[in-house]
Amino acid sequence: MLVALTRSVSPNLGNCELEYFSRQPIDIALAARQHRHYEQCLESRGAQVICLPAEPDLPDSVFVEDPALVLDEIAVITRMGVESRRAEAATLAAALAPFRPLRRIEAPGTLEGGDVIRTGRTLFVGLSHRSNRDGIAQLSALAAPCGYTVKAVPVRGCLHLKSAACQLGDDAILINRAWVDPSLFAGLRLIDVDDAEPWAANVLPIGGSLLCSAAFPATRDLLGRAGYRTEPLDISELAKAEGALTCSSLIFER
């Protein structure tokens, strides 16, 4: 059975960490409604949603993808690239412990789940502001006994690798070539985001379709023409916190 681990929106989301966006007022009530609709979409595609309580003192904590990486065999509790977010890992680790043996990234390594794309037994890991070489090396050592190969992918112009590229659920990657070297994905089929929508690469494949941000209709049309079933979701308030579709859940087989 597919499990989707989520966390309710912090009432202090407006105090989130920002690197690339200017701070804007966030409507917390609207953000909570958008997040609940997101969870309903996951449920409608066969996932059992397990929603953790909000963490008022941790503004970014709705973005559960970053503090942990769940593989088939293990769950890796990451060490976040900004100190203000590191406390998010404790309750996620407790929630994941019944499902997977836990492993951890230790100092001086940093790693965030938003920097990891899995295709088969390959983990592409963004070398970004949030994930460093030591963290990537530690992940490689933890994942190698389970049969995974880790490949570092330098990221420029955006927060995480999954802002620049995302797996489409098969052998294809949706990519913004301005932010990542496409040659590093050799052997995979690359589909480019629309030129006018540089932030459109983050999509979430689940249940035979792609959840796409409603803010990027041209890229969604492009994916439709390529044969993908898509569904637009309004995540406007979460996006103000540099959140995207993959950020708000950890999805794995029970």
Residues identified as active-site: 160, 247
Contact in structure between 48 and 93 (CB atoms under 8 Å): no
Q: CA 155, 156, 157 angle in degrees (round to 5)?
A: 135
Q: Which amino acid is at 170?
A: D
Q: What is the 3-state secondary structure (H, E, C) of 66-115?
A: CCEEECCCCEEECCCCCHHHHHHHHHHHHHHCCCCCEEECCCCCCCCHHH
Residues 123 and 143: their CA atoms lie apart, in Å, by: 9
Strands 172-175 and 189-192: parallel
Residues 122 and 9: their CA atoms lie apart, in Å, by: 32
Strands 209-213 and 230-233: parallel
Residues 203 and 113: their CA atoms lie apart, in Å, by: 15
Report the side by side order of strands in the sheet with 209-213. Answer: 204-206, 209-213, 230-233
Q: Please list the residues that pair with 154 across neighbouring strands.
A: 127
